[in-house]
Structure 1
Amino acid sequence: MEMYGEIILRTVFLYIFILIVFRMMGKREVGELSIMDLVVFILIAECVAFALEEVDKPIFQNILPIIILFVIQYINSLMTLKNKNVRDLIDGDPSLIVEKGVINQEEMKKQRYNLDDLFQQMREEGVPSIQSIDYAFLEPSGKLSIFLKNEDPLILPLVVDGYIVEKHLKLMKKERSWLLEKLKEAGYEKIDNVFYCCYENDKIHVQLKTTGNDRS
């Protein structure tokens, strides 16, 4: 009976402890988990399993790896929050799968993403044909984001966290010098101070890191 009581106490304690740990890790849907998130969650699940099986060991020995994983995840979240390059390296970057009704075969091979996957996700989104797609991006989570030709034009971020998104400029058929000139005309000299920037309706829209003000 004493062993069963220990198992019950450990289960209740670990349940509350894991809830607290996951809550402190931040809010993110299961389908939006990055590879790093998934690895951490799997390892935490293994640690909990060992904690429930090895009742003869002190509980702290079982939860210490969970605490270490939480610290790793917390440091990772701080790094990815402050640096887009680190965020792209760890979490990955969206891949352009369809552009103007044309499938990007090279990108599909690179992502090991086949036509059956593409057609399935198109059906799930109610998209009738490839030709009706303006742009389709395969997100790091595996979700396919589809923008149709008859919808409002796709507005791409050109600067994120002080970093110019070169591939978005390429999609717009614009050069880096064009963006720098537009920012200069709007009164923004330093890219490092720009939190977010996009180009919409022939206007540059900028939000700074410090003030959060939006100017056009």
Structure 2
Amino acid sequence: METVIRIVILYTVIIAGLRILGKREFGQLSPAELVTLLIVPEIVSPALVRDDPSLTNAIVGTTTLFSLVFVVSLLMHHVRPLETAISSSPTLLVSDGRFLAENMNKERISPDEIFTEMRKVGLYELAQVRWVVLETDGKLSVIPREGAGGHASGESSSSVGGG
């Protein structure tokens, strides 16, 4: 029964921490947020398997981690050079119906991945595309040329490999 109580307490602390950090879908996690979610199990596991007899270290560790993420996100929001240093910027992969091979190679995005996203918005020829952008969250945005057809939104947002 002690294990159940420990899990309930740690679950509550983690959920509270995630709520404080703000809403964001898991597919839209920044690298810092992903690292945070990967570190949490390492912090709380000793308390769950009773290697650490108290919950205090797990709670303090988790709270410290979430506080660090919160402070860094505030600083990134207010200090532009820090945001630039930590976050990536969008990368143009297609411009006016032409692949930008150097950018595609740098981001490790294949033409097949781009064509997949184009089909999702109803485009079947590269000539129909004004831009394809690899967004900072790893998703591809497909922007059709005017009059090229496609869905009303004109944008696709599927997560792909690359950075």
TM-score range, shorter chain: 0.7 to 0.9
User: For 1:14 and 1:125, how far apart are their aligned partners in 2?
Assistant: 43
Q: In the alignment, is the contact (CA less than 8 A) between 2:97 and 2:131 conserved in 1?
A: yes
1:8-47 → structure 2 map (5 Å cutoff):
8-47=4-43
Which position in structure 2 is the counterpart of 1:120? Answer: 116
Q: CA RMSD in A?
A: 1.7
Sequence identity of aligned pairs in percent?
31
Call closer, same or farther: CA 1:50–1:121 in 2, change over 3 Å.
farther
- Work out the CA distance in 2 between the residues paired with 1:46 and 1:129: 47
TM-score, structure 2 normalization = 0.82
CA contact (8 A) 1:25 1:74 kept: yes
Partner of 1:142: 138
> What amino acid sits opposite 1:96 in the alignment?
L
Q: Give the drift of 1:150.
A: 1.3
TM-score (norm 1): 0.63
Mapped to 2, the partners of 1:84 and 1:56 lie a distance apart of 41
Task: Please identify the structure whose Cα radius of gyration is greater.
Answer: 1
Structure 1 counterpart of 2:151: none
The alignment covers a number of residue pairs equal to 147
Q: Which amino acid aligns with 2:65?
A: L
Specify the alignment match of 1:62 in structure 2: 58
SS at match of 1:146: strand
Q: Which runs of 5+ in 1 are unaligned?
A: 152-216
Aligned partner of 1:90 among 86, 93, 101 = 86
Distance 2:24 2:50 in 1: 31
Q: Deviation digits for residues 72-109 of structure 1, max 9, x if unmatched? A: 10111111111333223222111001111111110111
Superposition misfits of 4+ residues, deviation over 3 angstroms: none
Higher strand share: 1
User: Using the alignment, how far apart are the partners of 1:85 and 1:125 within structure 2?
Assistant: 35
